[in-house]
Amino acid sequence: AKADILDDDRNPAALSGAGAIAAYGDELYVTDCNDDSVKVYRADDGGYVRTIRGADVQDPNGIAIDGRNGLGYLTCSDDTVRCFKLTTGKTVARWGGNGAGRGKFWNPRGLAVVGSELFVVDMHNHRVQARAIRRSSARLFLSNSGALPHQVFHAVEMHSESGRVILYSRARGEF
């Protein structure tokens, strides 16, 4: 039977503010915004594996895993995206910051890795930005400016599936 993961101060595996989840191999990575951490569990039985935390993990919202490169990505409340090594949890890159320009965010949320790009839901700028994983260039993928073929209305979550990006818009309740 799968173990229940409950809010319990005595248990290091407990979640006090679960936010987002990503899977890689036989592990589940769950953001815990109240604990400023990412908790890792076995997918088969819910068993606790480890906690990833540090000064760079601040109120994590979204998470995506790039297993091909052994990297994870987090969106954080300071309007940045953090890239960390799956094996050590060490932050290896950080970008963003508050703003409306390319590569800047206002409340980044969902993340998805598709091929060699990382897609980031930029919730209050009403857009999705794409960033090449091996380069620092960012591009607008979807925006509410009318410059692109699709509009984004209060997007909150995103996942990748079979090379496609699936985006959920809270205001319209649709994909």
Tens digit of pLDDT for each residue in 95-112? Answer: 999 999 988 999 998 888
Mean pLDDT of the chain: 77
Checking if the pLDDT of 119 tops 70, the result is yes
Checking if the pLDDT of 146 tops 80, the result is no
SS3 140: strand
pTM recorded for the entire structure: 0.76
Checking if the pLDDT of 149 tops 90, the result is no
Tens digit of pLDDT for each residue in 42-59? Answer: 999 999 999 988 767 888
Checking if the pLDDT of 36 tops 70, the result is yes
Checking if the pLDDT of 5 tops 60, the result is no
56 or 78, higher pLDDT: 78
* Average pLDDT value for residue range 23-40: 92
- SS3 of the chain: CCCCCCCCCCCCCCCCCEEEEEEECCEEEEEECCCCEEEEEECCCCCEEEEEECCCCCCEEEEEEECCCCEEEEEECCCEEEEEECCCCCEEEEEECECCCCCCECCEEEEEEECCEEEEEEHHHCEEEEEECCCCCEEEEEECCCCCCCCCCCEEEEEEECCEEEEEECCCCEC
Residue 2 confidence (pLDDT): 41
SS3 158: strand
Place of tokens 């908790």: 39
Cα separation, 62 vs 102, whole angstroms: 19
